[in-house]
Amino acid sequence: MALPACAARALGPPLQPEREAPARTTCPRRHSRVEAELAASRPGSVAASVRAGPPRGVSRGFNSQPLLDEPLKASSSLAAAARAPLFALLARGRRRRMHDLRRRWDLGSLCRALLTRGLAALGHSLKHVLGAIFSKIFGPLASVGNMDEKSNKLLLALVMLFLFAVIVLQYVCPGTECQLLRLQAFSSPMPDPYRSEDESSARFVPRYNFSRGDLLRKVDFDIKGDDLIVFLHIQKTGGTTFGRHLVRNIQLEQPCECRVGQKKCTCHRPGKRETWLFSRFSTGWSCGLHADWTELTSCVPAVVDGKRDARLRPSRNFHYITILRDPVSRYLSEWRHVQRGATWKASLHVCDGRPPTSEELPSCYTGDDWSGCPLKEFMDCPYNLANNRQVRMLSDLTLVGCYNLSVMPEKQRNKVLLESAKSNLKHMAFFGLTEFQRKTQYLFEKTFNMNFISPFTQYNTTRASSVEINEEIQKHIEGLNFLDMELYSYAKDLFLQRYQFMRQKEHQEARRKRQEQRKFLKGRFLQTHFQSQSQGQSQNLSQNPSQAPNLNANQNVTQNLIPNLTQSLGQNPSPKENRESQKQNPGQEQSDSNTSNGTHDYIGSVEKWR
């Protein structure tokens, strides 16, 4: 216990600590009591003199108070005297460490106390703020009574529970793709999953005029038959991802067998040991690495039916498909791929039965690869096959003398290659665009009547997008790929027109089915209505025989109308049967339309009469 200020001044300066014991600034209560007992037990100490009483000749006043508390008990003094030698025997370093530990303990307790009081103050202020907010919102209810302490605690608990639930949801479902966080599903219909992936409007102004046959791509592909799908894989167009979709993501009666650690999958027809897909992940590079149109059209039939006799070969159809990409992005992606060491040396480039010579197709590098090449060096090579690669791989190279540039002038050669690539692309069974993954999936499903298991994913961040180029370099790349730029513009226009055409056709088909359903329901309603009316008339006829002629006439009309309605409304032929009947009897189309219009007019008049 500390002495009062007056007693300290009267007794003189404080005692100095012992030589071996360090001075203690803050000590726990237990150690303070031990030191006080030791000080009191020493003879001649201040505490002992104060405890003994006032000096001789000084009497206690009436209002005088003792300077210290009551003496400690004898047992405590004995215990302290027994413990004191043990504490004094400790080494100096040990006592210093104990002193540091006590000081840290005091700081920790202080921090905990401050944290507890801060949280309490925060909760108190939050309670007042929420109370003020609820008093403003529920003002009319304030007359009922103020919120008591229990209601405040309940409100605070609800708020804390809500905040905890929000934090848990953020950890469990951080993205916007979580179904729990899609609150728009409760207020608005689901958005169109096939909306333009580049966030632009789904409608566009077409530049080219295509016929209905060019837009309607409906392939009668029977996987159990002999037809074959051939995938033309152009470098750096996303063909690897699309190729994996073909072997791993299609709903089939007999799915492809893909084993772990193997790139190729076994895609057999149901009940046959014969493949239905010719691609990298099913048959491998059977016609060479990244074979082009010229190589595939001459190689695939020989590879598939090469072991059979010519007379026993089936008359199969080869459905060619491919994927295109924006030329600038594809060019930069190929440069980054070559920069990492890719060469595609295994490509055969077979044209007209032979590969090109070194003079016809020189190399751009002298070493084993072209790794680490800068973009300027990549663009400056005049023999770089990355220039206009998509046009070259989709055109028929035999029309221009393959890789022999001396056959015709360069301008004429470019024109022939571009027109050949456009024609082959238009007559392909299917082609997709890397920038429109969901539309590519939709058109493939509608073309081949085959559905994918999971939807395609649009990746907007690629290696090409990470390359920062200025406007001058971009113009230079577009100039090097001017044929690809023209082909991609043509392909994008045709692709989006096909998509719009198929979507409109799908909406019209759904509308036609709804109309047929409504017609059928109307016919059933009229049939039941006329039957109930005829039953009522027969009952009235038994009661009033004088009205028999009129009722018999109405009954005859009703009986004649019911079979006509059931025949015209109940039996709806399929679209295929309608087309066949129109081809066989084209002259009856006008009469049938007049008859149907007359039936609809009659139904409208009957409803108006009702």
Question: Which are the catalytic amino acids?
Answer: 290
Q: Phi and psi of 279, rounded to 5°?
A: -155, 180
Contacts of residue 81, defined as CB under 8 A and 6 or more positions apart, other chains included, come to: 37, 38, 41
Instruction: Report the distance separating Cα 428 and Cα 319, nearest Å.
Output: 7
Please name the residue ranges forming H helices in 138-255.
149-172, 184-187, 212-215, 239-248
* Cα dist from 576 to 220, 579, 582, whole Å: 14, 5, 10
* Cα dist from 458 to 27, 156, 223, 445, whole Å: 68, 44, 28, 17
CA atoms within 13 A on the CB side of 545: 0
In the three-class reduction of DSSP (H, G, I as helix; E, B as strand; rest coil), residue 215 is classed as: helix
Instruction: Report the distance separating Cα 441 and Cα 432, nearest Å.
Output: 8
Distance of CA 532 to the CA centre of its chain: 57
Residue 509's CB: how many other CB atoms inside 10 A?
A: 11
Smallest Cα–Cα separation from 543: which of 554, 551, 555? Answer: 551
Q: What's 397's DSSP letter?
A: G
CA atoms within 13 A on the CB side of 380: 6
Give bridge partners of residue 257 from the DSSP assignment.
Answer: 266
Instruction: Report the distance separating Cα 599 and Cα 564, nearest Å.
Output: 9
Ramachandran category for residue 145: left, alpha or beta (phi over 0 → left; psi -120 to 50 → alpha)? left
Give bridge partners of residue 266 from the DSSP assignment.
Answer: 257
Helix axes 410-427, 482-543, angle to 10 degrees: 20
CA atoms within 13 A on the CB side of 36: 19
Which strands sit side by side in the sheet containing 430-433, from one edge to the other? 277-278, 228-232, 318-324, 430-433
Residue 244's CB: how many other CB atoms inside 10 A?
A: 16
Helix axes 482-543, 327-339, angle to 10 degrees: 130
* Residue reference for tokens 């040396």: 345
CA atoms within 13 A on the CB side of 608: 6
* Residue reference for tokens 């023999």: 383
What b/e string do you get for 131-142 counting C-beta neighbours within 10 Å, with b at 16 or more? beebeeeeeeee
Instruction: Report the distance separating Cα 87 and Cα 21, nearest Å.
Output: 10
Q: How many helices (H) and strands (E) does the chain have?
A: 20, 4
Q: Are strands 277-278 and 430-433 parallel, antiparallel or unpaired?
A: unpaired
Q: Are 279 and 273 in contact (CB under 8 A)?
A: no
